[in-house]
């Protein structure tokens, strides 16, 4: 298949590009490299384009595509709280342009990179796609609005679409594709341990077993393979839009993750506890029964696998 990947030089996008190339797909990468990291995209056709303004070039790059996977977006929960208008403008604007360009394809498959952040505060326990989506930060709000836009465009442009609600993507399948962001828990904890400093826990007074935030950490390679499974599934489906959680179905606390970083480093780690961070929920864990039942995908990697892969990528 010919597959367009926007944001294909990002951490998650580049994982998907490498998996698609390895199975013989023809890949078109569109990226503006505004994140500052130029991850290798192998034999993919590369278009350095601004998804906000290069509309004509975007339509040409999409022409003839069998599928489009739209990763390109701002993704920091914390930054969205301090710079909301940037998130509204860029996350919705780039998606609108990608959907418009997808109109030039002949009934392509369209995957939208959504997020567990659409759920906001949860009652605890595994979250289903049918549970209420009440985002508590601008990042999550742009992802929920993006799902609505994708559903509407699927009907208007006759696309076979899905929105994938990523839980906490972490770890790496290859060292050269690792997450270089500093705000996420795992990269920031690893960086601090490597500098013999204490990792920071944002709040230990949450209603969770050890008081620290609980998330569902899913390996970046698992997440890429989930995209491939959904692409193949939608290739046999009718026009429409479907929402899938992408996670492991298992929660882990901030303290547990930091403990595993110490194990990977072979050192005893004593974290520092700071006040809660704005926009954070206590617990966000996926119910993954729908993607397992309908698509046949489930995660393969454990949390220790994830932490070890991230640690080794920085050695």
183 sits near ligand WQD (criterion: CB under 6 A) = yes
185 sits near ligand WQD (criterion: CB under 6 A) = yes
Closer residue to ligand WQD in complex, CB, 47/165: 165
Q: Tell me the chain's radius of gyration from C-alpha atoms.
A: 19
Min dist CB 253 to ligand WQD, Å, is 8
Count the site residues for ligand WQD by CB under 6 A.
21
How many Å separate Cα 216 from the centre of its chain?
12
* Interacting positions 244-263 with ligand WQD (CB under 6 A): 254
Min dist CB 212 to ligand WQD, Å, is 7
* Interacting positions 274-293 with ligand WQD (CB under 6 A): 277, 280
202 sits near ligand WQD (criterion: CB under 6 A) = yes
184 sits near ligand WQD (criterion: CB under 6 A) = yes
Q: Which of 15, 47, 70, 75 binds ligand WQD (CB under 6 A)?
A: 75
139 as an active site residue: the answer is: yes
CA distances from 231 to 43, 167, 170, 284, 312 (A): 20, 19, 22, 25, 30
Closer residue to ligand WQD in complex, CB, 105/113: 113
Catalytic-labelled residue, pool 139, 166, 206, 217: 139
Closer residue to ligand WQD in complex, CB, 54/204: 204
Which structure tokens are listed for 108? 């392509």
77 sits near ligand WQD (criterion: CB under 6 A) = yes
96: exposed, middle or buried (C-beta count within 10 Å: 0-12, 13-18, 19+)? middle
60 sits near ligand WQD (criterion: CB under 6 A) = no
The set of long-range contacts for 175-181, using a CB threshold of 8 Å and a minimum separation of 24, is 175/312, 175/313, 176/39, 176/40, 177/11, 177/14, 177/15, 177/18, 177/39, 177/40, 177/220, 178/11, 178/310, 178/313, 178/314, 179/11, 179/220, 179/310, 180/11, 180/37, 181/11, 181/75, 181/76
Which residue, chain included where needed, has tokens 């490498």?
Answer: 18
223 sits near ligand WQD (criterion: CB under 6 A) = no
219 sits near ligand WQD (criterion: CB under 6 A) = no
Q: Which of 315, 209, 223, 229 is nearest to 264 (CA)?
A: 315
Residues forming a β-bridge with 284: 215
71 sits near ligand WQD (criterion: CB under 6 A) = no
- What number of other Cβ atoms are within 10 A of residue 169's Cβ? 27
Residue 116 gets which letter from DSSP?
Answer: G
180 sits near ligand WQD (criterion: CB under 6 A) = no
Min dist CB 132 to ligand WQD, Å, is 18
Chain residues that interact with ligand WQD, rule: CB under 6 A:
75-77, 115-117, 166, 168-169, 183-185, 188, 200-202, 213, 215, 254, 277, 280
């Amino acid at each position: 298949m010919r597959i367009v990947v926007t944001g294909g030089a990002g951490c998650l996008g580049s994982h998907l590009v490498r998996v698609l190339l390895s199975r013989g797909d023809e890949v078109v990468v569109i990226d503006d490299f505004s994140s500052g990291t130029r991850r290798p995209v192998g034999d993919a056709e590369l278009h350095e384009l601004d998804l906000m303004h290069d509309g004509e070039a975007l339509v040409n790059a999409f022409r003839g595509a069998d599928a489009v996977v739209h990763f390109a977006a701002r993704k920091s929960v914390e930054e969205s709280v301090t710079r909301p208008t940037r998130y509204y403008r860029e996350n919705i604007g780039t998606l609108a342009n990608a959907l418009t360009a997808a109109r030039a394809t002949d009934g392509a498959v369209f995957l939208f990179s959504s997020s567990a952040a659409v759920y906001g505060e949860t009652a605890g326990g595994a979250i289903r796609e049918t549970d209420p989506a009440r985002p508590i930060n601008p990042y999550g709000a742009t992802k929920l609005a993006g799902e609505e836009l994708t559903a509407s465009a699927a009907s208007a442009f006759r696309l076979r679409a899905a929105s994938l609600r990523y839980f906490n993507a972490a770890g790496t399948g290859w060292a050269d594709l690792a997450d270089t962001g500093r705000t996420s828990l795992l990269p920031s904890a690893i960086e601090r341990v490597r500098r013999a400093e204490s990792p920071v826990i944002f709040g230990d007074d949450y209603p969770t077993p050890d008081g620290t935030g609980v998330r569902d950490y899913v390996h970046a390679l698992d997440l890429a393979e989930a995209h491939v499974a959904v692409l193949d599934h939608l290739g046999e489906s009718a026009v429409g839009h479907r929402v899938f959680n992408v996670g492991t179905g298992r929660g882990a606390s901030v303290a547990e993750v930091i403990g595993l970083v110490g194990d990977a480093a072979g050192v005893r780690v004593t974290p520092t506890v700071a006040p809660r961070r704005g926009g954070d929920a206590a617990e966000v864990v996926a119910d993954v029964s729908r993607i397992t039942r309908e698509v046949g995908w489930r995660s393969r990697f454990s949390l220790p696998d994830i932490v070890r892969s991230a640690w080794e990528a920085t050695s």
